[in-house]
Structure 1
Amino acid sequence: MRILFLSRWFPYPPDNGSKIRISNLIATLSSMGTVDLISFTSDSLSSAQLAESHKYCDTVKAIEYRSFNPGSLQAVLGFFSLKPRFLVDTYNQDFEHAVVDLVARNPYDLVIVSQIDMTPYVGLFQNQKVILDEIELTIIAKPDKKNTLRYLWSRLTWAKYQIYLRKVLKQVQGCTTVSKNELEMLRRLAPKNLPIAVIPNGIQVAQEEGEPAIPERHSLIYAGALSYYANLDAVRYFIQEILPEVKRACPDVKLYVTGKADPELISKLPNDDRVIFTGYIENIRARIESSWLSIVPLRIGGGTRLKIIESMAYGTPVISTSKGAEGLDLIPGKEILIADEPAKFAAEIIRVFNVPGLREELSQNGKKAIMSKYDWKSISQDYIRFIDQALSAFST
């Protein structure tokens, strides 16, 4: 089988949630046949990155990504298009040419289109079977109602997305989502006979074995680049509204914020000497394992959080908002702690700091849950079965 994979993110190294998922999908697909990759990238690629990609992919083409510019001519014209504005503005002719070139030279049996960013290129495939992956709708369909103007704007945006996605979903042979919530929303837009399945985010649990680091008492970690607006909001919210209460009970508390964070973004956050911005860490596992708790105080965003799955797989308990844990099949109070109010969030952190044995109990329960539900080894088999089902349905 010859497979073409279109990706918004160059997946190597797999150092954020999207890249981890994409790299796992590509590794699974490579067991089914030959995979070619066309991917956007925001940075120049090193020889090590290309070498890693060629472990799983035959042909690899990387195209420089141009971020959405709301003030550009294309974005303004997007107001009059049935496509979402950011898709109109970020459409890339070089990417299109790369797709057309490979399709002309290879008889692809399957095309995987990853995330909504890649859907404008679906129309380039006339005789190929196409499956969409990780179409996230929650962030668009369920906006924050606190800001009336933003809420109304989001409703208009959602109306446009529905029109656009209904058209795209008629052109493909299958679609996957990361959670049941996303599947239910997508099902309302898709043709009745379109195969759709939940393929959750997961982690290669077997690869994460080894001697764990010793956790640092009263240490917290937030794993996520501040360049993503949902992460920036979460960290601001925690520093402003939760951390002061934790500091009163535990003056020596430390919060490590990992991921890319330029000085301009850090300057937008309250200054606090108990917060340490580590920058990008190549071996994130060691930093997570050495933290007493992983915090996920997210208030906005969509999909499911690989940062939660990763932390729990490494044995570090997680305290999250309901939004942060949305879509994950975890038992609150046993496998994960959930707190939506600042005072409750702080109280839960202090409780895990102070109650003997509680961290270890949460750690063991969480790790078992991840191994049973979010190990990519088993998820990959579900993914293969879904592809077979979708292709069989198309053939008949």
Structure 2
Amino acid sequence: MRVLVVAEEYPWPARSGGRQRLHWILRMLCARATVDLLVIEEHPSRSAPEPPPEVPIHRLTRVVAGHQVLSAGGRFTRWLFGRLPRSVVGRDWTSARSAVGEWADDSHDLVWFVHTSVYLALRHHLPGPHVVDLDNLESSLRAHRRRSRRWQAARTFRGAVWERARAAADVLDKRRWRRLERGIARAATVSLVCSDLDWRRLDEPRVRVLPNGYELSVDCQPVAPPEGADGDPVLLMVGLMIYEPNRDAALYFASEVLPLIRAQVPGARFRIVGRYDPADSHILSDLPGVDLVGEVPDVAVELARASVVVVPIRYGGGTRIKILEAFAYEVPVVSTSIGCEGLDIEGGRHLLVADRPVDLAAACCDLLADAGLRKAIGTEARRLWETRYRWALMAPVVDDVLRTVVPHGT
């Protein structure tokens, strides 16, 4: 059996949640089929490593699909009178379609699309059975983001008008994403989501659940010291800071929650680990108690010094691999309801859940003050990860998808 995987991001190094999911899907597919990989990148990395030995890609092609040269007014007009959401309008798929044309003589038993955009752009150019991984439902992200808007945060009349315009655009985009996602779920041979919650949101018979997972790089019993290297408690957030929901969450926690924590625990530090835009760095790094770390080669080092992992997400889609990562290392987690939605967890047992700044601060302070509570939460979280959220447990789902799509290919 031969499988073509079409993705919007090169998966290595597999540091972000999306890259980790793609890495493990490729790894499972390579164990069952001959796999070709076509990566269509908007912002390609110049120093990406080769695929690891455990993912023997047969053929790999990377192309750039940027944006068409349009004025702001032209893009707005195309979006307003079109049927596509803002993030899809204006993408130039010419190079991607040319790359697909070069593969015309290759025969694939199925095409596995990662995300909506590449499917919409290339579905008619790649015949055969299609699997589409909808790991983040963009319609849910827009709905969450609109509910998280706070008009009082706008300091000027112009800012308030701009925020209201964005919220109105989110309403329209949510409907468009919803229509696109439902259409894909009906048209594709199989569509994948990462939680039962997203499965219920789509409510289509061809949708399957492939949960997110996490694997430790080595077989170890992690030990998470309760204090940072300098003796102060560390509240750790891990995430790609160029991703808007993560950037919003970091600023929300640093500006509204951390001051409440430091009023009770003056030495508490908020460490933010993940790639960020240097142009935005001063917004966070200038706040008291905040350490903007950036990318690190091994997040386990950061987890080992963390007292608590915080996931203050206010809008987003899919499920957070950063939570599963903390579970695997037995680091207690404090999350918003949206941050942990879709995971089969019990608040107060596997992690602490709070949404208002005062409640998030109280949950963090409770953990910082009680080593026994930190240990109990971490132990239950580790047990859940071992029995429910390891990638090794997801292989039967991939096998079932392959049997469904290519009945005689496995």
Q: What's the TM-score once normalised by structure 2's chain length?
A: 0.87
1:4 Cα deviation after fit: 0.3
Q: In structure 2, what is the equivalent of residue 360 of structure 1? A: 375
State the one-letter code of the partner of 2:334.
Answer: I
Q: In structure 2, what is the equivalent of residue 164 of structure 1? A: 180
1:267 Cα deviation after fit: 2.2
**Structure 1 residues 226-235 or 141-150, which shifts more?**
141-150
Aligned pairs for 1:111-150 within 5 A: 111-125=111-125, 127-135=127-135, 136=137, 137-145=139-147, 146=149, 149-150=165-166
**Structure 1 residues 268-277 or 345-354, which shifts more?**
268-277
* Whole-angstrom distance in 1 between the partners of 2:12 and 2:371: 40
1:327 Cα deviation after fit: 0.8
SS of corresponding position for 1:295: strand
Change (3 A) 1:349 1:37: same
The answer to whether residue 195 in structure 2 is matched with residue 184 in structure 1 is no
Q: In structure 1, what is the equivalent of residue 346 of structure 2? A: 331
Q: In structure 1, what is the equivalent of residue 256 of structure 2? A: 241
Aligned pairs for 1:86-125 within 5 A: 86-102=87-103, 104-125=104-125
* Whole-angstrom distance in 2 between the partners of 1:338 and 1:288: 20
State the one-letter code of the partner of 2:82.
Answer: S
The answer to whether residue 388 in structure 2 is matched with residue 377 in structure 1 is no
Change (3 A) 1:240 1:362: same
Q: In structure 2, what is the equivalent of residue 296 of structure 1? A: 311
Q: What's the TM-score once normalised by structure 1's chain length?
A: 0.89
* Whole-angstrom distance in 2 between the partners of 1:365 and 1:175: 32
The answer to whether the 8 Å contact 2:284/2:290 transfers is no
State the one-letter code of the partner of 1:386.
Answer: V
* Whole-angstrom distance in 2 between the partners of 1:334 and 1:54: 35
1:40 Cα deviation after fit: 2.8
CA RMSD of aligned residues (A): 2.5
Aligned pairs for 1:148-227 within 5 A: 149-187=165-203, 190=204, 194-205=205-216, 207=218, 209=220, 212=223, 214-216=225-227, 218-227=233-242
* Whole-angstrom distance in 1 between the partners of 2:224 and 2:354: 27
1:288 Cα deviation after fit: 1.3
List per-residue Cα deviations over 1:240-286 (Å, max 9, x = no partner).
Answer: 11111111111111111011123321223372342111111010122
Structure 1 unaligned blocks of 5 or more: none
Change (3 A) 1:385 1:316: same
Q: In structure 2, what is the equivalent of residue 306 of structure 1? A: 321
Q: In structure 1, what is the equivalent of residue 31 of structure 2? A: 31
* Whole-angstrom distance in 2 between the partners of 1:100 and 1:72: 33
Structure 2 unaligned blocks of 5 or more: 152-163
* Whole-angstrom distance in 2 between the partners of 1:369 and 1:213: 17
**How many residues are treated as equivalent by the alignment?**
387
The answer to whether residue 271 in structure 2 is matched with residue 269 in structure 1 is no
* Whole-angstrom distance in 2 between the partners of 1:87 and 1:242: 34
1:117 Cα deviation after fit: 2.4
Q: Calculate percent identity across the aligned residue pairs.
A: 24
1:370 Cα deviation after fit: 1.0
State the one-letter code of the partner of 2:128.
Answer: Q
State the one-letter code of the partner of 1:56.
Answer: P
1:237 Cα deviation after fit: 1.0
SS of corresponding position for 1:300: coil
State the one-letter code of the partner of 1:290.
Answer: R
Q: In structure 2, what is the equivalent of residue 59 of structure 1? A: 59
List per-residue Cα deviations over 1:197-227 (Å, max 9, x = no partner).
Answer: 1111101247453654644251110001221
Q: In structure 2, what is the equivalent of residue 5 of structure 1? A: 5
List per-residue Cα deviations over 1:346-374 (Å, max 9, x = no partner).
Answer: 11111111123111111111011111111
Q: In structure 2, what is the equivalent of residue 386 of structure 1? A: 401
The answer to whether the 8 Å contact 1:75/1:86 transfers is no
SS of corresponding position for 2:310: strand
* Whole-angstrom distance in 2 between the partners of 1:87 and 1:262: 22
1:45 Cα deviation after fit: 4.1
* Whole-angstrom distance in 1 between the partners of 2:350 and 2:131: 33
Match 1:258 to one of 269, 273, 283: 273
